Structure 1
Amino acid sequence: MTGAPPVVRNLDELTASLISPEDSVRLCTLAGPADGSSASVFLEIWEPGGAQPVNSHDDSAEIFIVLSGRARAHSDDHVVELRAGDVLVLRPGSEHRIVNISETERLHTITVMADDGGFADLVNRGTPAALTAQDIATLVGRTALPDHQAAHRRA
């Protein structure tokens, strides 16, 4: 059986985007329709005090896995506090917004949209914004080393 090969990228090859240049939330598409998936996965990074505008996705649940930081999530008439280790599930059609409530630390999440609905394309057309070493370390673990550094440590 032959088919399309798996997609593998390294975080060093990825960049983030700002949907609008004045935004305080960077998004990095980790996987999406361009990779053959109807779902999309993002690394989202809120600057200290940053927030996304109120938004809604009619056809998609949106799931946030909080990797670091603290936030306040607004969904319709509900407000919940979030911290590292929490998983937030927003139902399709909810009007929502997440605010980083820290004045000094970034908020990092892995965000999954069950039905992309064009969101990854919107993100990828945005203003390029770099991923920092801190962003990558938050995602892969602070003790992870690139292969060449790990090889030198073992020697």
Structure 2
Amino acid sequence: MKTDFLHGEQNAAPIDIPAIGLRLQVRIDSKATGASATLLETTDQPGFGPPQHRHEIETEVFHVVQGRYLFDVDGKQTVVSAGETIVAKQGTTHRFINIDDQPSRMLVLVTPGWDATRFFSELGDVMANGSPDPAVLKAFGDEWRIEFVGPPLTMPAELAPDALSA
């Protein structure tokens, strides 16, 4: 039996998307897995997260490495903390927000794999001036078979870091 070792991209150039408070690095590119998976490392700023969206093809597995997030998957909300994992299956609507007072980090496994470097670089261009025109975001999503269906989550007052310490 032959064993293949995947070597992550230790020096992968980070991709920054300030409009959604994201710094992302592709750790294992889909080419290394024969397009079966992609592994990302994300750092999300407090109070930020992506717009609500749905992947036609991919499932995403989010493993929180540091901090806390509020996830919304198909309308069900749950807090996910360091050491915990949540899955957004293919076709589910999902979004999240960093509810910690510091940057939070996740490892995100996407299956099947896809060209995350190109996707997030182009998404950064689309969001360069903040919230993009909905038609532009829709056209971008259509190319990737991802439907953007709503806004990012907002910080619930009861989960805000200052409310938790009171």
User: 2:32 and 2:123 mapped to 1: Cα distance?
Assistant: 19
Correspondences of 1:35-46 after superposition (within 5 Å): 35-38=32-35, 39-46=37-44
CA RMSD of aligned residues (A): 2.4
* TM-score of the aligned structures, taking structure 1 as reference length: 0.68
Q: What is residue 72 of structure 2 aligned with on the other side?
A: 74
Q: CA deviation at 1:26?
A: 1.6
Correspondences of 1:83-94 after superposition (within 5 Å): 83-94=81-92
Q: How many residue pairs get matched?
A: 121
Instruction: Write the letter of the residue equivalent to 2:92.
Output: S
Identical positions, percent:
18
CA distance 1:30–1:110, shift in 2 (3 Å): same
Structure 1: where are the runs of 5+ without partners?
128-155
User: 1:43 and 1:75 mapped to 2: Cα distance?
Assistant: 20
Q: CA deviation at 1:66?
A: 0.6
Which of 15, 19, 27 is the equivalent residue of 1:30?
Answer: 27
CA distance 1:42–1:9, shift in 2 (3 Å): closer
Structure 2: where are the runs of 5+ without partners?
125-166
* TM-score of the aligned structures, taking structure 2 as reference length: 0.63
Instruction: Write the letter of the residue equivalent to 2:108.
Output: T
Q: What is residue 63 of structure 1 aligned with on the other side?
A: 61
Q: CA deviation at 1:45?
A: 0.8
Correspondences of 1:94-109 after superposition (within 5 Å): 94-102=92-100, 104-109=101-106
CA distance 1:10–1:91, shift in 2 (3 Å): closer
Instruction: Write the letter of the residue equivalent to 2:102.
Output: E
User: 1:46 and 1:118 mapped to 2: Cα distance?
Assistant: 20
Q: What is residue 144 of structure 1 aligned with on the other side?
A: none
User: 2:62 and 2:6 mapped to 1: Cα distance?
Assistant: 23
Following superposition, which runs of at least 4 residues in structure 1 exceed 4 angstroms of deviation?
Answer: 124-127
Instruction: Kindly indicate whether residue 135 of structure 2 is the aligned counterpart of residue 116 of structure 1.
Output: no
Q: What is residue 141 of structure 1 aligned with on the other side?
A: none
